[in-house]
Structure 1
Amino acid sequence: MHTTRTGAKYIADYFKQREVTHVFFMDAILRRALIEMEDVGITRVLAHSEAAAAYMADGYARVSGRPGICMAQSVGAANLAAGLQDAYLHRSPVLAITGRKPPGYRNRHAYQEIDHAPLYQPVTKFHADVEDPAELRLMLDQAFRAMTSGAPRPAHLDLTGLQGELVETADINDTLDIDPRYNKVPAFRPPASADDIHHMAEMFAASCRPMLVAGAGAMHSKAARAIAEFAERYSIPVATSTGGHGCLPTDHPLHVGIVGNYSSPPANYLLDRADLVIFVGSEVSDQTTMDWTIPGLEVPKIQIDIDPAEAGRNYPAIYAVAADPRDTIEALQKAMADQQRYTSWADEVRSAVSQWQKAADELADSQAVPIGAQALCKAVGDALPDNAILVGDTGFSAIWSGNAIALRGAGQTYLRAAGSLGWAFPAALGAQCAAPERPVICFTGDGALYYHIAELETARRRNLPVVVVVNNNSAFGQALGNVRRLLGERDGNIDEMIRFGPTNFADVAQAFGVDAIRVERPGDLANAIGKAIAMRRPVLVDAVTDMESKVPEPWRRTR
């Protein structure tokens, strides 16, 4: 039934119908709608920067499986767009809403006014101007369809009025009848054809050393259980991209680890040994394949992806299956009922991974001061509850969290920045909003924390019980080796390029009113991290670590 509402009331009611529980914003945008949202039970989370609001919405979307909402006024539109890069790269459904001055002000050097469309074009799947309030329903529907169907990605709506007020104050006569399928990801699960299933089963039958590589798309499809059952049924090893990490527990006998540039040494070697590689929900990027050298061009490959446009983009000879990853793996398992197990191959993989893990454990047991990053990661992994969400930043934080922090439970979740340094802390706050009952642990470096350290105030104000573990080595650790190699034997001041601090982040956190624990010795890590998680309020653990800690070197082809 059509009912007349103000635009502000319509936006609030529409979001409620879409099962939105939180919105993340920088003032001043849609103030009237934000007032209406309180009345329908939507929590408004004020951030300290537009990028942080976008990262919070991204973390919320990845954990909830529903679109996250972030908003900013016209002058903040460029900053908000920059914050969508990670969501776009990871295929996360985030709706960005901005205000824009009405047409009569455009192209006249109006105060704080630039064209927003070019800013959002590279980081969204759908963008639209809402100049006529009567278009609001149509554009909201299209944004949710775009975000949740096919490969999920962000959308952007530019509302007329600096703060969107010309849409808010208009009367809108429309229904709130929505299609609930677009409230979550995936909205649809397109099936693989019978011919595709049959052909994949034949490719398996012809192989001796198959390996699955699960990507972010597998996680969006909620395919982890199906992949585990399939792998266990036929003894097929499972590797992941960084976005697919956590698909199998790290102590699972078929777990290979992350492959590509951020891998542990045995993972790439074992992937190179495979004679059939099945990419499940992976974009098969340079990051996952060491610049498309592992697996080699000669190796048979399958790519299962919900987006038909992705299949064959990076390996032209790949066998492409445009279908939902979870349902495809389930159908393939049924079709391969008579397939023999790959037991000897699985044993070879398990032996190689175990040998590397044994050597890594010896480093993790070190009591050296400053603390080694390996020891810090071991303490985090040992402390993680069975239902924890671990949020890792990019760079060394991604390599450490992906290779050295144990994920031992199927109920644990791993989120990782797709490339924007500083993403993890705001994203962890968004993840906590999406899952208030679950422990959220953010693993970040000091270089990343500086980006959005002001969000400590947000954590305290909203009482979001995120535990922030800071690998505080007073440097950009990932840059250290590269700069030294470039410098060679030449004299130079490396410190000017990569060093900062030292900063006592425990003191900083306490100044924001956040509990904090500073740790300078490895033997104190377990107690500090365990205590922080048990407190169930915002806590920062400031671990003073060794800048010289070396991450695992990925194996590369030499031929």
Structure 2
Amino acid sequence: MAHMGDLVAEMLAQSGVEAVFGMPGGQTTALHDGISRRQNRIRHVLMRDERNAAYAADAYARLTGKPGVCDVTVGPGANLLPAGLLEALNASIPMIAIVGELPLDWLTLKEKGIASQGFDQLSFFKTCTKESYLVPSVAALPDIIRTAFRVATSPRPGPVAIIIPHDIFDAEWDGTSPAATVDDRTQRVPYLRSVAPAADIARAAALIRQAKRPALICGGGVHGSDAADIVTGFADRFGGLVVTSLSGKGAVPETRDYAAGVLNPLGSWAAIELVQEADLLVWCGSKVSQNTGMNWTLPRPEQATITIDCDPLEHGRTFRPTVPLLGDVREIVTALDAALGDPVARPEWLARIAEVKAEGEAAKAVEIASDSAPIQPPRVMAELAARLGDDDIVVSDASFSAGWIAGYIPAKRPGRQFLFARGQGGLGYSVPGAIGAAETRPGTRIVTVAGDGAFSYTVGELATQAQFNQRVVNVVLNNGRLGWIQLWQEIFFKNVQSALLETDTVQPGFAAAAQALGLKGILVERAEDIGAALDAALAHDGPSVVEVRIDDRATPIHSFKRRMREGADAPRARPGTVYKLREWKVSPDLD
């Protein structure tokens, strides 16, 4: 006799889910039994930590557009999910978390673990998901699953938790009642597409034609709408500057003359400089976050603005746009492109873009050419960029790694080839993210870049990469420090030094740890050995770790570089002066 775990597995398979990431428990064994009966349609990827299951599901969702699915058991499994759920919530990534629960009639026994592992899971997950549901009966389960997929994929996408009690999971199911019917519209994002009114489109197009120095700023919403090709075509005729957020990297190829890279304090110097000179900012699928908005100094008072976003609440969160365009990025950009008509020629603006980009590239070339020891990260990134193929996926961890990737590995084609954990910016995303990425494209090479601090969070998940023999190259930039925090303490608090990860007597070796876990491990301490190490790792038929000993003073943050150049005699800055929320304002029309 089948059980309700079969119904859940069947509905997942019918919804187009190929992989579920998680860890089994007694309360969720019925789900795993159901998946095991359908291995030709859906598979389970056993993770070493439930938090990492959410990160793997997140990466799966970013690359497929389908909801990433993770499963955990009640209590200790469930309480590890919020880091990954919050990443997905803030980054608008569709996800379904299937959570085990104690039997329904144990309600009074949940408090303080009277019944083993029990706590108020519904209230807990309400704080870190788009929506959460506790299944109250066998009859309600199919509709709650359908609703969860609809909520997860509808604008604005996000994670949904389905909490299924043990007695419901184990209840018998005859295969027909309740019926395992699904809504095929919810198989991937977006669930529905909409477009702004024609009058608003026309007004925005007129504003673009009128501008002398327009800039298009592309966020992760471009990829969420599967619109990179459409946006690139529009950018080719836009006649202005194009930059992206970290999550938006790949919205347009960064090899285009008009593209200046990632707009972020640790991104492209040229992007930061050029966007200040623009008279019109078109925010495309970007929530104008603290980092992309350069600590909310953008837009400047004199800059007109157009916002393109499917979430009505984003059209005026920190400024009132000149023209808000509410709807799906792909649909709006298609309409805007048609309304714009012939390409607009702005030779002076394009010449200025080329000039500033050349200055930035010259400075980067000096960093890349360095053969110092310890090694400079730009050298590592340049060697890696030269070896990446068109289909390879790069998964970034948080902190400085995001900046090294953003500034020194160009996106060569439109599409989501780069994954950045920017919803929360939490350390430890890259290794489990690579597991999810590898499951979407078997045989494709996945490359991760992480500092030693971030890599330490999820070393155990290397065993999962080994178990599934995934073609993942994990590059560890090891400076023996929590680099960002070390420099923050030094610049603002005069060298507190609580961010040291190693001492003269303790120097953890990640290449050696990888070898012990069944991966290929390579340690690099000289710049001239980087290329050979990467070649060996990329040619290896399985997962590997390339550990590079880097300079602990290296940083991609331009303001940190400037502070260190100024030296100890520079006026002491306070952290509060770095992040200052500016007043909400109305963007002007152009003259």
Shift of 1:253: 1.0
Cα RMSD, aligned residues only: 2.1
- Alignment partner of 2:295: what SS? coil
Query: What is the match of residue 424 of structure 1?
Result: 430
Deviation of 1:297 (Å): 3.3
- Residue 304 of structure 1: which of 305, 308, 311 is its match? 308
The answer to whether residue 74 in structure 2 is matched with residue 74 in structure 1 is: yes
Establish whether residue 7 from structure 1 lines up as the match of residue 13 from structure 2.
no
Match of 1:39 in 2: 37
Question: In 2, are the aligned partners of 1:216 and 1:244 still within 8 Å (CA)?
Answer: yes
Q: 1:95 aligned to 2:96?
A: yes
Determine which of 14, 27, 34 is the counterpart of 1:17.
14
In structure 1, give the amino acid aligned to 2:517: F
Name stretches of at least 5 consecutive residues in structure 1 with no aligned partner. Answer: none
Picking from 279, 295, 298, the partner of 1:291 is: 295
Q: 1:421 to 1:428 in 2, by over 3 A?
A: same
> Aligned partners of 1:299, 1:170: CA distance in 2, in Å?
63
TM-score by length of structure 2 reads 0.89
Q: Which residue of 1 aligns with 2:418?
A: 414
1:183 aligns with 2:187: yes
2: CA distance, partners of 1:20 / 1:377: 34
CA distance in 1, matches of 2:181, 2:23: 29
1:471-550 to 2 correspondences below 5 Å:
471-488=477-494, 494=497, 496-500=498-502, 502-550=507-555
CA displacement, residues 50-84 of structure 1 (integer Å, 9 cap, x when unaligned): 10111011111111110111111111211112321
Amino acid of the structure 2 residue aligned with 1:256: A
Kindly state the Cα deviation for residue 258 of structure 1 after the two structures are TM-superposed.
Answer: 1.4
Letter in 2 for 1:226: I
Looking at structure 1, the residues matched to 496 and 89 of structure 2 have their Cα atoms a distance apart, in angstroms, of 37
Give, as a single letter, the amino acid of the residue that structure 2 aligns with 1:90.
A
Structure 2 gap segments, 5+ residues each: 563-577, 583-591
The residue identity in structure 2 corresponding to 1:429 is: I
User: Which residue pairs with 1:150 in the alignment?
Assistant: 155
Shift of residue 336 of structure 1? 1.1
Write out per-residue CA displacement over residues 500-532 of structure 1, whole angstroms, 9 at most, x where no aligned residue. Answer: 352211110010011111111111112211221
Q: For residues 59 and 543 of structure 1, do their structure 2 counterparts lie closer, same or farther at Cα, with a shift above 3 Å needed?
A: same
Residues 58 and 93 in structure 2, CA contact (< 8 A), matched pair in contact too: yes
Number of aligned residue pairs: 549
Secondary structure of 1:454's counterpart equals: helix
Tell me how far apart the structure 2 counterparts of residues 523 and 204 of structure 1 sit (CA, whole Å). 48
Q: Note if 1:220 corresponds to 2:219.
A: no
Partner of 1:117: 122
Q: TM-score, normalised by structure 1?
A: 0.94
Q: State whether residues 466 and 519 of structure 2, in contact with CA within 8 Å, keep that contact through their aligned partners in structure 1.
A: yes
| 8 Å CA contact retained: 1:479, 1:498 | no
Report 1:58-73 matches (<5 A): 58-73=58-73
3-state SS of paired residue (1:156): strand
State the partner residue of 2:84. Answer: 83
Q: How far apart in 2 are the matches of 1:448 and 1:493?
A: 21
Identity %: 30
Preserved CA contact (<8 Å) 1:378 1:406: no
CA deviation vs aligned residue, 1:476-509 (integer Å, no higher than 9, x gap): 1111221112333xxx662x43333522111100
8 Å contact from structure 1 (residues 459, 466) kept in 2: yes
For 1:404, which of 391, 403, 408 is the aligned residue?
A: 408
The aligned counterpart of 1:470 is 476
The equivalent residue for 1:159 is 164
How far the C-alpha of 1:179 sits from its partner, in A, is: 2.2
Q: Which deviations, in whole Å up to 9, do the C-alpha atoms of 1:387-414 show, x marking residues without a partner?
A: 1111001111111111122333446601
Answer yes or no: is the 8 Å Cα contact 1:312–1:319 preserved in 2. Answer: no
**C-alpha separation between the residues in 1 aligned to 2:411 and 2:210?**
33
Query: Contact between 1:216 and 1:282, CA under 8 Å: does it hold in 2?
Result: yes
Alignment of 1:271-282 (within 5 A): 271-282=275-286
Please tell me whether the aligned partners of residues 64 and 435 of structure 1 are also in contact (alpha carbons under 8 angstroms): no
151-160 or 347-356: bigger deviation: 347-356
Instruction: Quote the offset at 1:236 in angstroms.
Output: 2.1
Q: Secondary structure at the match of 2:345?
A: coil
1:138 CA displacement: 0.6
- CA contact 2:372–2:527 (8 Å) conserved in 1: yes
Decide which moves more: 246-255 or 357-366. Answer: 246-255
Deviation at 1:468, TM superposition (A): 0.4
The answer to whether the 8 Å contact 1:441/1:468 transfers is yes
- Report if aligned partners of 2:7, 2:173 keep a CA contact under 8 Å in 1: no
CA separation in 1, counterparts of 2:331 and 2:321? 24
- Opposite residue 143 of structure 2, the aligned amino acid is L
Match of 2:107 in 1: 106
Aligned letter for 1:67? P
Q: Is the 8 A contact 1:387 1:412 kept in 2?
A: no
Q: How does 1:259-270 map to 2 (within 5 A)?
A: 259-270=263-274
Query: What are the Cα deviations for residues 290-312 of structure 1, in whole angstroms up to 9, with x where unaligned?
Result: 22212213311111011222221
For residues 278-325 of structure 1, what are the alpha-carbon distances to aligned partners after superposition, in whole Å with 9 as ceiling and x for unaligned? 111111111211222122133111110112222211212442211111
Which stretch shows the higher mean deviation, 147-156 or 316-325? 316-325
Cα displacement (A) at 1:5: 5.2
Kindly indicate whether the alpha-carbon contact (under 8 Å) linking 1:242 and 1:262 is maintained by their aligned counterparts in 2: no
